[in-house]
Structure 1
Amino acid sequence: MADIDGQWDSVAQSPMGEQVSVLTLTSKPDGSFAGTNSGPMGSLDVTDGQVSGDLVTFKMELKVPFPMMLTVEGRLDGDTMEGTIDTGAFGKFPVKATRKA
């Protein structure tokens, strides 16, 4: 499994502008990973994290301002992850994360 552990500075491009947050990810013995995504609007749990080759997927359940499941899919290249956040009815938005030194 690729190295996913650490803190990642994340920027998502949404219709409400750039959404900046910090992803804190920790791998589990079974090869999956979990963590948190903390930003100005609070913290979300990262669940269902999987790495397959360079493909990274995980979910976050948003509760405020309204409930929705966010599904993230991206490619891991060393200390960079780049992909999309799928919000369901509101579409997909680009996201990029860089691991903190």
Structure 2
Amino acid sequence: MSVDGTWNVTVNSPMGPQPSTLTIKAEGGALTGTQSAQGNSQPIANGKVDGNNVSWSNSITTPFPMTLEFSGAVDGDKISGSVKAGAFGSFPFSGSRA
């Protein structure tokens, strides 16, 4: 099953669930796309795909400027993993194909 598509992703952070929409496309070992949250949409960076494993980063400004580093795996129509939020530590994320 391809990782390509649109995903509804929720990060379980200390500030509560943080939903976002992730649209990704694998091209060889590279992962490209956009992530939208809180009314802002921007391209993902450092995207990589290896089989069902995916990773990417996304810079945010709200509630604090930081780079979020996502690492996870696609299993059919589900995606899950963890996101490193700078000095705030790592939090789980999960989602499903939209």
Q: TM-score, normalised by structure 1?
A: 0.85
The alpha carbon displacement at 1:41 in A equals: 4.3
Counterpart mapping for 1:3-18 below 5 A: 3-18=2-17
- Identity among equivalent positions (%) equals 38
Which runs of no fewer than 5 residues in structure 1 stay unpaired?
none
Of residues 79, 83, 86, the one that matches 1:81 is 79
Deviations 1:18-75 (A, max 9, x none): 11111011223x4311111112241232111111132211111113333211100112
The number of residues matched between the two structures is: 98
State the partner residue of 2:25: 26
State the partner residue of 2:66: 68
In structure 2, give the amino acid aligned to 1:22: T
The alpha carbon displacement at 1:84 in A equals: 0.5
In structure 1, give the amino acid aligned to 2:54: V
Is the partner of 2:44 in helix, strand or coil? strand
Partner Cα separation in structure 1 for residue 63 and residue 16 of structure 2: 16
Partner Cα separation in structure 2 for residue 22 and residue 40 of structure 1: 10
Is the partner of 1:89 in helix, strand or coil? helix
Task: Check the 8 A contact 1:72/1:83 in 2, yes or no.
Answer: yes
Q: TM-score, normalised by structure 2?
A: 0.87
